[in-house]
Structure 1
Amino acid sequence: MAKSLYKITFLNHGKIYELYGRHVAASSLWGFTEVGELVFDVHDGIVVDPTEERLRDEFAGTKVLHLPMQSIVRIEEVERKGQSVIRDAESGERVVTPFPLPAKPR
């Protein structure tokens, strides 16, 4: 039997994060929800999605997230993983890290 997969949408520093994890439960810390076993796409070589890479780097080494209940927007049990994203909380548009451009010569 395959383990359940959850899409967790939560607010963090004015941005809406959408992550995937295999474990969601009430935390032992009062007022928090525990999210564990985070799932990220693993790509060898070329980075296909910079947001996914950014989230993987941000949460590298994280065993369990303890999210305040007030920050959670939604938790959904899903059949398969979609794209992990970061959105602007006000506009709902994806936050994309621009590709660094060389500085103009003076």
Structure 2
Amino acid sequence: MATLYKVTFLNAGKIYELYARKIASGNLWGFTEVSELVFDLHEGLVVDPTEERLRDEFGSTRVLHLPMQSIVRIEEVERKGQSAIRDATTGEKVVTPFPLPAKPR
């Protein structure tokens, strides 16, 4: 079974939680390399908007170079959980809700 890591880091006032297969000390001093990012592939009607947003933002990323001071924690996990974007001050999930139709007046 391949090793899987949960990477939690700060970015633009939000806390990101991503999953990756490889973590290494970067060739750039002060940076950690995160590569082989893992995303859920939803084939049905139910789509997680947070997972979609993360896939849109990082889907084509080969290696993510994170400054050491932005990393909150790196955990080696047995299986992938739900990726998340949280507000750094409150810890609440930041999810773009599915747009609802406007109420008629």
Tell me the TM-score range normalised by the shorter chain: over 0.9
**Distance in 2 between residues matched to 1:17 and 1:47, nearest whole Å:** 22
What are the superposed Cα offsets for residues 32-89 of structure 1, whole Å, 9 maximum, x if unpaired? 0000000011011324311011101111210010000000000000000000000000
Q: Which amino acid aligns with 2:40?
A: D
Q: Which amino acid aligns with 2:77?
A: V
Alignment check: 8 A CA contact 1:47 1:53 kept: no
Q: Residue 24 of structure 2 corresponds to which residue in structure 1?
A: 25
User: How many angstroms does 1:98 deviate by?
Assistant: 2.1
Q: Which amino acid aligns with 1:77?
A: E
Q: Residue 88 of structure 2 corresponds to which residue in structure 1?
A: 89
User: How many angstroms does 1:30 deviate by?
Assistant: 0.8
User: How many angstroms does 1:95 deviate by?
Assistant: 0.3
Q: Residue 40 of structure 1 corresponds to which residue in structure 2?
A: 39
Q: Which amino acid aligns with 1:24?
A: I
TM-score between both structures, scaled by the size of structure 1:
0.92
**Distance in 1 between residues matched to 2:12 and 2:27, nearest whole Å:** 24
Q: Which amino acid aligns with 1:17?
A: Y
User: How many angstroms does 1:105 deviate by?
Assistant: 6.9
Q: Which amino acid aligns with 1:7?
A: K
**Distance in 1 between residues matched to 2:6 and 2:55, nearest whole Å:** 15
Q: Which runs of 5+ in 2 are unaligned?
A: none
Q: Which amino acid aligns with 2:6?
A: K
Structure 1 stretches of at least 4 aligned residues deviating more than 6 Å after TM superposition: none
